[in-house]
Amino acid sequence: MLILASKSPRRIEILKKLGKKFEIIPSQCAERSTKKRPSARVVELALQKAFDVANKYPAATVIGADTLVFCKGEVIGKPKSKADALRILKKLNGSWQSVYTGVCLVCKDTHQLVYGYDVSHCKARRLSQAELAHYAGKHMDKAGAYAVQDNEDPFIERIVGSKTNVVGFPVEFYQQLQKEFTK
C-alpha cells in the first residue's frame, strides 16, 4: 500500500497524473523544525510527516513532502493571514527566490528509507502595489502565497528547474527516489 502523508490538492493531483494508486492519510505532526538551512528544513519536515503516518501504518510505503520558499535570507512558508500574504508578496516582488521541496519515502516493516530535496529558482514579476493588494490572499494555502499551476497567475515570470517542484511535488526527483527505494 502507498500512502501520501499530505492533504495537498497539488500533491494528490500530481501523484494521480503519475498513475499511482494511493491512500491519502495526512500527517498530524506539529511541523516544527530546528534547521536553519532551507534544504535541511524541508527534509526534516518531510521525514517528520512520513514517519508520523508510517508509525501507524508500518507495512505501507509512506510519502512525506514539505515545500518552502527562500528569499532574501528568509524562509517563507504559507501565509498566516491576508496581511502576511501581502508582506510576503512585497518581499518576493520582482525578485529571484528559491523553492525547496523535501521528499521522503519510508516503509518501517522493510526498514527502507530514502529522502532528499529538490530546488528550483523563480523570478517574480514586478507588480504594482494595487496589483499586489488584489493578489494577496488568493493563495493562502501555498508557500510564498502564489500558485504557478494556475496558468493565469501573474506573479512568476520565469522558472529555472522543475515546475512540479514549485507546485509542491518534484516529479523527476520523486521518480529518482522511488528507483532508489525499490533497489
Residues designated as active site: 66
| Residue 54 neighbours by CB under 8 Å, 6+ apart | 5, 60, 62, 106, 107, 108
| Residue 11 neighbours by CB under 8 Å, 6+ apart | 4, 65, 168, 169
Cα gap 108→63, rounded to integer Å: 12
Asked if residues 54 and 77 have their Cβ atoms less than 8 Å apart, the reply is no
Cα gap 60→48, rounded to integer Å: 16
Cα gap 139→126, rounded to integer Å: 18
